[in-house]
């Protein structure tokens, strides 16, 4: 960065496992191609999967072990069958963890605890969460992480999600943080490419411990339902977005497929045509039933459209 702008003290944090290896490989390849120079990628997987993921490591990417690096010793994963056998036996996709301080912990809850721990112990102040089924489709601009004045991007969807689960997440966040939701207008903070500040994560952890009177991991392990993004988002709101060193942005930088995947050629084309110049990444959720061949085809079409959009914009700027 030039013109006196602060150095980009940022990294990307991803959690994955062997069942998402091929998706994660696509993410890593896209980061190797599109990430700005100096941006680190911290990829954490179960210890038993480290050897599988080892070929993805490079100068910008380190691969850590979730078990030892992000979880306390008192939270242990129950051995379960691999992804293929789980599907055949219709077993839960997520793992189950045994805890000395709570009932058994669902893998989804443990994953959120790991995301918070990974951000709190990050070597960089700015931490972008990117799920392993996301793929970057054009260069990731530093401005999407931080403004020249040093303020960090904070995703807040101004259209408040009214789904019962999201309402529950907000209620749980208020209880854990000891705040009154009526004192501010909360938004919705769920997505990928979500950017946090390490210093604010640490303050959030301290607040949870002050309110709950125990280690924050023990407190969260006892919660059957919470969202790490909602928790962080509402903590930032309680501090004041600017006071927390953030600036609010209500535009998602990701073209997404969550529950409703395109089932016809026309629906696929509509998805591709939905790509906007501000989209820097594409998410096709790993639980989508489409084949890898179809996924690669769809991603290839999205990347091609992104390239065309960028070339057209360049021509227009030079004319």
Residue 209, C-beta contacts closer than 8 angstroms, at least 6 positions apart: 215, 216, 219
User: In this structure, what token pair is assigned to residue 85?
Assistant: 């056998």
Closest CA to 111 of 202, 220, 213: 220
Q: How far apart are CA 104 and CA 114, in angstroms?
A: 16
Confidence (pTM): 0.91
Q: How far is CA 30 from CA 4, 34, 105, in A?
A: 29, 6, 33
Q: Answer yes or no: CATH 3.90.550 is held by domain 10-252.
A: yes
Q: How far is CA 96 from CA 37, 90, 188, 194, in A?
A: 38, 15, 28, 26
Residue 131 near residue 92 (C-beta atoms within 8 A) = no
Residue 149, C-beta contacts closer than 8 angstroms, at least 6 positions apart: none
pLDDT of residue 181: 77
Q: Is the dihedral of CA 241, 242, 248, 254 positive or negative?
A: negative
Q: How far apart are CA 205 and CA 201, in angstroms?
A: 6
pLDDT of residue 5: 54
pLDDT in tens, 157-212: 877 777 889 889 999 999 999 998 777 777 889 988 999 999 999 999 999 999 99
pLDDT of residue 2: 44
Residue 139 near residue 231 (C-beta atoms within 8 A) = no
Ordered by start, the domain boundaries in the chain are 10-252, 255-319
pLDDT of residue 182: 78
- pLDDT tens, per residue, the chain with 319 residues: 444 556 789 999 999 999 899 999 999 999 999 999 889 999 999 999 999 999 999 999 999 999 899 999 999 887 665 656 556 655 555 678 988 889 899 889 999 999 999 999 999 999 999 999 999 999 999 888 999 999 999 999 877 777 889 889 999 999 999 998 777 777 889 988 999 999 999 999 999 999 999 999 999 999 999 999 999 999 999 999 999 999 999 999 999 988 778 888 999 999 999 999 999 999 998 888 888 999 999 999 999 999 999 998 888 888 7
């Amino acid at each position: 960065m030039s013109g006196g702008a602060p150095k980009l003290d940022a990294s990307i944090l991803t959690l994955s496992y062997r069942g998402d290896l091929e998706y994660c490989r696509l993410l890593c390849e896209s980061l190797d191609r599109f990430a700005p120079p100096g941006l680190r990628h911290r990829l954490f997987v179960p210890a038993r999967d480290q050897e599988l993921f080892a070929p993805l490591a490079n100068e910008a990417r380190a691969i850590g072990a979730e078990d030892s690096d992000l979880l306390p010793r008192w939270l242990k994963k129950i051995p379960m069958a691999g992804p293929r056998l789980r599907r055949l036996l219709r077993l839960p996709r997520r793992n189950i963890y045994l805890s000395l301080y709570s009932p058994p912990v669902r893998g989804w809850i443990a994953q959120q605890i790991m995301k918070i721990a990974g951000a709190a112990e990050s070597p960089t102040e700015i931490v972008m969460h990117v799920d392993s089924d996301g793929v970057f489709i054009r260069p990731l601009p530093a401005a999407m992480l931080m403004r020249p004045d040093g303020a960090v991007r904070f995703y807040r969807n101004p259209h408040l999600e009214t789904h019962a689960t999201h309402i529950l997440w907000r209620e749980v966040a208020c209880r854990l943080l000891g705040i009154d939701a009526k004192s501010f207008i909360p938004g919705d903070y769920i997505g990928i490419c979500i950017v946090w500040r390490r210093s604010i994560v640490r303050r959030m952890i301290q607040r949870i411990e002050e309110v709950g009177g125990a280690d924050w991991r023990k407190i969260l392990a006892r919660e059957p339902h919470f969202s790490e993004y909602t928790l962080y988002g509402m903590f930032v709101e309680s501090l004041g977005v600017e006071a927390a060193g953030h600036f609010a942005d209500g535009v998602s930088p990701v073209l997404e497929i969550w529950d409703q995947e395109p089932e016809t050629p026309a629906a696929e084309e509509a998805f591709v045509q939905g790509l906007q110049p501000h989209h820097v990444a594409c998410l096709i959720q790993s639980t989508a039933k489409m084949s890898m061949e179809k996924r690669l085809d769809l991603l290839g079409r999205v990347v091609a459209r992104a390239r065309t959009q960028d070339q057209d914009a360049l021509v227009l700027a030079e004319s």
